[in-house]
Amino acid sequence: MSRRGQPALLALSLLTRLPVRVATPVDPRDQGRSVAWYPAVGLLIGLLSWALATLLAGAPPWPAAALVLVVWVGLTGALHLDGLADSADAWLGGYGDRARTLAIMKDPYCGPAGAVALLLVLLVKAAALAALLESGAITVLLVAPVLARAACAGLFLALPYVREQGLGSGQALHTARRAVGLMLLAAALLAVLLGQGSAVLVAGVVFIGGVVLMRQRLGGFTGDTAGALVEVVEAAVLLAAALVL
């Protein structure tokens, strides 16, 4: 693929475990442009999850939900779940101190808070997926990954990135802000066109809450808190859809 397609490939290589080849050396400007592709990567994940759910129509809901969730997590390599666990440990163990919170996030071990956060989020997702599969209301599977990654991209517009050498430092320095803004609007419009306008509201509330918490504790965001936001948005959108069936 030409260098013009590098931002999309960079987004795919970061947010999924799909086998893509990225040209090296990586242009920092392409890293910044890749942020605008995050919602599109979410759409690909959503399409694959929705297709699997469609194939499993009529199967027992809980085993089917477990299979969809396993594939969903596998597509991302549990990247965002790792960020969720690290963020939960840091938020609880940081005692409100910024430096301590950031230090705990760099610890590779998963503590009790991280383990509980993982368990609860996966349980919420599995229960919501089971209810949605049983009712056949699976359109939200297309929308949840898109809105979650749109929220992640939105962090680059709303907050500074607080680590100088972190995973998202290149993207933060060269973010194509106008392109990201347009993709956020496109993600919201897609949800509305698919009859999931309430999902946009749910994702927006979680995003605003996350931004407030990150600003208060860290003065910005990290790759871990971005991953945590992705997981919480997905879980909240799926749960809300299941509760209103």
In this prediction, residues 154-163 reach a mean pLDDT of 95
Q: Which pLDDT band, with edges at 50, 70 and 90, does 112 fall under?
A: very high
Tell me the CA distances in angstroms from 5 to 11, 123, 183, one per residue in order. Answer: 10, 37, 16
Local confidence band at 22 (pLDDT 50, 70, 90 cut-offs):
confident
Grade residue 1 by pLDDT with cuts at 50, 70 and 90.
very low
Predicted confidence (pLDDT) per residue in 172-214, tens digit: 888 899 999 999 999 999 999 999 999 999 999 999 999 999 9
CA gap 73, 225 in Å, rounded: 18
Cβ contacts of 243 within 8 Å, gap of 6 or more: none
**Domain total of the chain:** 1
pLDDT over 80 at 149, yes or no: yes
DSSP 110: -
Can you give the pLDDT at residue 146? 98
Q: Are 101 and 91 in contact (CB under 8 A)?
A: yes
pTM for this prediction: 0.95
For the chain, the C-alpha Rg in angstroms (whole number) is: 17
Host domain of residue 28: 3-243
Smallest Cα–Cα separation from 132: which of 50, 9, 38? 50
